[in-house]
Amino acid sequence: MFDIGASLTAARESQGFVLADAERLTRLREKYLRALEEDRFELLPGRAYARAFLRSYADALSLDADRFVEEFDQRYPEPVDETPAAPVFRPRPRRTFPVKAALGLGALAAFAAVIAWSGTSHDSALTPVAPLQAKVAPTHHLHALAVAQPVVHHYPLVIHAAGGTCWVLVRRGGATGPVLYEGLLGQGQTLRFAPKVWVRLGAPWNVAVRRGPHVVAGLAATMPVNLVA
């Protein structure tokens, strides 16, 4: 383990920078840089912002950013959601079929049938029954119609920082998928991703998001926004 804040401060002072210089270099507010140097990560907007700000500050000071982020993750691990227990299903009891009762009823029915046949066989003549002619179902001819398949265009998701800097986190497939990108998107910069991705925007009012001709509306907000596209 090493001191994250003290290492950042020593690297900044060794290069002759004050916090105002670091603010212009990183485009991060001075109060956030001071919080990083004092290890007061609770003053930052959130854990994701703390990791992104720490990586940007370490890169600007020519330090090993991965080492600083790994140290941060060891101290402040990401909380893991608990998986609910699977429900327990109990099989229904099988009903036993009364075999003896069924055999008794069958014997009584057969005995009654023999008595009824013996009383009527000598009084009435048997009338032959004409054989039934099988009906042939008419043949229907099916004609397959060729249907043209629509052409599907897989446009990339384009994120453009038009109004200012925005922290961006992009995962493949969903909120728990692998990370494709995490960092600060500077003003005028653009990112492109193939579908399907999950996106979290720290400053959605600073970016324009579109996929092909379709523009994502409703991003003018004051809080971070999650997108699935």
**Could you tell me if residue 131 is inside a domain?**
no
State which of 48, 75, 102 marks the end of a domain. Answer: 75
State which of 18, 53, 75 marks the end of a domain. Answer: 75
Q: Are 23 and 33 in contact (CB under 8 A)?
A: yes
Alpha carbon distances (Å) from 208 to 27, 190, 196, 212: 20, 10, 18, 12
**Could you tell me if residue 67 is inside a domain?**
yes
**Could you tell me if residue 60 is inside a domain?**
yes
**Could you tell me if residue 219 is inside a domain?**
yes
**Could you tell me if residue 40 is inside a domain?**
yes
Supply the pLDDT for residue 31: 96
Report the b/e string of 13-32 with b at 16+ CB within 10 A.
eeeebeeeebbebbebeeeb
182 vs 50: CA distance, rounded Å: 12
**Could you tell me if residue 63 is inside a domain?**
yes
Supply the pLDDT for residue 202: 82
Mean pLDDT per block of 10 residues along the chain (229 residues) reads 90 94 94 95 93 94 94 86 47 54 58 51 46 54 56 78 85 87 87 87 85 77 70
**Could you tell me if residue 139 is inside a domain?**
no
Q: Which residues contact 164 (CB under 8 A, 6 or more apart)?
A: 187, 203, 206
Q: Are 159 and 185 in contact (CB under 8 A)?
A: yes
**Could you tell me if residue 45 is inside a domain?**
yes
What CATH number is given to the structural domain containing 65?
A: 1.10.260.40
State which of 58, 75, 92 marks the end of a domain. Answer: 75
Domain count, the chain: 2
Domain range for 71 is 4-75
Supply the pLDDT for residue 204: 85
